[in-house]
Copies of this chain bind each other. A is one copy, B any other.
Amino acid sequence: MSTESRTSQPETRDRILDAAERLFVEHGFEGTSMRMITGAANANLAAVNYHFGSKDALIQAVFRRRLTALNEARLAALDRLEAEAGGSPLKPSRIVEAFFGTALALAADTEHGGNLFMRLLSRTYNEPNAFVRQFLAEEYAEVMDRFLGALFRALPGVPRGEVMWRFHFMMGAMSFAIAGIESVHAMAGMPYEADDPSKLLPRLMSFLLGGLRAPLPEFGATDPD
């Protein structure tokens, strides 16, 4: 049994990853049991521990499989921008698009489950689970460094602390953009007009760039009006 089983199912390892990804989105990490995963993957209960070692290791594998590719695509997009610019400073809008556009492209991929993963990832930024946070921080270190550096150079007049905060705010907006396509309707009783997912990126980009370019806050005054 090298690539395909007796039936034409994918490898057990991949079936487990797919099932786990979907179930983590629906029920969270702690709300998803090994039996749910192996059941949905048509695998034996012991298969997770055999292929991955533990549940925590499986969680990491689910993330690594997609996150590595996503962040490499982000870095490649930034590389391309910097190569085109040839030393001259980048436009902030291009940097933002390289980071968030790449993410939303994956979130729009319903074919290979990228949308599921992005919903999982969005939620996990606020995950209390200690080792997941640690893992995400490591996985994001290089990308954050590169993109924040690019933004610092693109916005030389803006204090770095403000840039970082605004980048953080943008991450929040993106998180809700991805995770909340249905929650926004549920909360507001919206008619749910079957939003075109392709409209999400322009919508989000307008908002993000408006926020990024906004006048800097004035901390002193209490009522600037």
Contact = CB atoms under 8 A, between A and B. Distances in A.
A204 to B, nearest CB: 7
Interface stretch (A35-43, A61-69, A125-133): A125-133
**Copies, count:** 2
Interface residues of A, number: 70
A214 B218 contact: no
Contacts of A204: 169
Q: Binding site of A, secondary structure by majority: helix, strand, loop or mixed?
A: helix
Rank and list the top 7 A-B pairs by shortest CB-CB distance, nearest first: A210-B214, A172-B176, A202-B217, A30-B30, A211-B211, A169-B173, A172-B172
Interface of A: 25-28, 30-31, 93, 122-123, 125-129, 133, 136-137, 140-141, 144-145, 148, 161-162, 164-177, 179-180, 183-184, 186-190, 193, 195, 198-199, 202-219, 225
7 contacts: A122-B126, A165-B184, A169-B207, A198-B219, A202-B218, A210-B210, A211-B214
